[in-house]
Chains A and B, each alone.
Chain A
């Protein structure tokens, strides 16, 4: 079955430290890949996406992610965490086909310590 795995349901970093949120997908065919952020009591906001082309994708708020086909990974990074980055982050995959169904990971809650 197609799935998305996010390692670490909770990640805590210090302000100014590197943020690394991990995402792996299960498919030999490169899908479309997305990272969404969800702030408390809000909907999902698109951070960045990979469809085709350059494997290093830059998004909003200083985040970026790299698609690595050999590792079936799409990890999210930010060089320096800010307090406002505290939120829940979801990796999602669109495997294509007849529908554009997004399959989401279980999410990673990012805490940023002062």
Chain B
């Protein structure tokens, strides 16, 4: 079974530029999550989708972050404009049941 796929794996941009990350969940997983992991910290949930509807986006900085999950499969997370403090690893996860989330390899973002 293929795991959660993410791209790109690494991205370097300058502040005020925009960037987008892509995630393809495990086939059949209805729930998709985006987490932000700042160096030295545990992952923090940004947004959760159930199919193509948003379940929880309470921690998403909506003035600069946006996410969508068209057709209930793939998802994109966008940052516009980026700030220095957005430098982090962005992890995508998916789940079939309520119990277990499976994570992708992450996208490492550096904002200069």
Contact = CB atoms under 8 A, between A and B. Distances in A.
20 contacts: A32-B99, A34-B100, A41-B108, A42-B105, A43-B4, A43-B91, A43-B103, A43-B105, A49-B99, A51-B99, A92-B42, A96-B98, A98-B55, A98-B56, A99-B55, A99-B56, A101-B45, A102-B33, A102-B45, A104-B42
Interface of A: 4, 9, 32, 34, 36, 41-46, 49, 51, 90, 92, 94, 96, 98-102, 104-107
Chain B, interface residues (CB within 8 Å), range? 20 to 34
A44 B43 contact: yes
A76 to B, nearest CB: 15
Interface centre among A45, A51, A102 (most CB of B within 10 A): A102
Contacts of A49: 99-100
Interface of B: 4, 6, 31, 33, 40-45, 48, 55-56, 91, 93, 95, 98-106, 108
B94 to A, nearest CB: 11
Given A100-B99, A102-B45, 13 more contacts: A4-B42, A43-B91, A43-B103, A44-B43, A44-B93, A46-B100, A51-B99, A92-B42, A96-B98, A101-B56, A102-B101, A106-B41, A106-B42
Contacts of A107: 40-42
